[in-house]
Amino acid sequence: MNSGKLNNDWVTIKNQEAADSLIDPKKYKYFIPFMQRPRSLSEAANLINIKTNLMHYHIKRLLNLGLIREVDFRTGRGRRGMRYQASSSKFFIPLKYTSVTNMETILYGLQEPMFRQIVKSRILIAAQERDDLGMAFELTPEHHFSISVSAQNDEQWASEAHQESENYPALFSKYLTLKLNHNDAKWLQRELIKLYQKAFELDTDEGRDFVMGLSIAPISN
């Protein structure tokens, strides 16, 4: 009889269908109930609000893929029942066993809430905490149209409203495309890692909540 204790060893997934079952938003919902604790078919079905016959199909599929296992047990009345549990609490999926579409979907899903929070915070701060900040729409010297949150004019931007001024809120958000050689790109990557680590050191139970995002990536077609 299998123990109900969850295995904490890393399990590497090298099967396309198993990989999709863990990262495809339309499929991983059937697996999540068994990641949390051992559950019976009916318990899992009720948790994600689906019919038991559909849950039965997905349990068989997850068993065949090795993502869950059977946990035999007895109920309080002495009747035998079966619960199911994830085969591990940790799974590693090499990217070559995933589809680009699924990876894009899952990463967008992880990053979009943070991006939305950054945008929302910028708007609220500009609207509620500063009289000299607004939306600037202009034609750049390169004849590109630019729209951004900024001060009313260049003079304000260079003085009080400049991001480094103590009177300016702790707010910064920029996106840019750079041409970098490998050494410079690696230097920038390491600096971002240092900044990321420093941010954790500054984290405290007191003060205001902030959201921060750091990323760098070579552009691929």
Shared-domain flag, residues 87 and 35: yes
Range picked from 2-6, 49-53, 125-129, 214-218 for highest mean pLDDT: 49-53
| Residue where a domain terminates, one of 95, 119, 150 | 95
Residue 172 inside a domain? The answer is yes
Least confident of 9-18, 119-128, 152-161, 190-199: 152-161
Rounded-to-integer distance, Cα 182 and Cα 145, Å: 31
Residue 4's pLDDT is 59
pLDDT at 159: 45
Q: How far is CA 166 from the centre of its chain?
A: 32
User: Are 115 and 51 in the same domain?
Assistant: no
The verdict on 130 and 80 lying in the same domain is no
Q: Are residues 126 and 190 in the same domain?
A: yes
Q: Does residue 113 sit in the same domain as residue 91?
A: no
CA distance 41 to 56: 7
Give dist(CA 217, CA 66) in Å, integer.
34
Q: Give the 3-state secondary structure of residue 129.
A: coil
Q: Is residue 174 part of a domain?
A: yes
Range of the domain at 72: 10-95
pLDDT digits (tens, 9 = 90+) for 54-109: 999 999 999 999 999 998 765 555 555 789 999 998 999 888 887 766 677 777 77
Do 122 and 83 lie in one domain? The reply is no
pLDDT digits (tens, 9 = 90+) for 128-183: 666 666 666 677 777 766 666 665 555 544 444 456 667 667 777 777 788 899 99
16/82 same-domain check: yes
Statement to judge: residues 58 and 143 lie in one domain = no
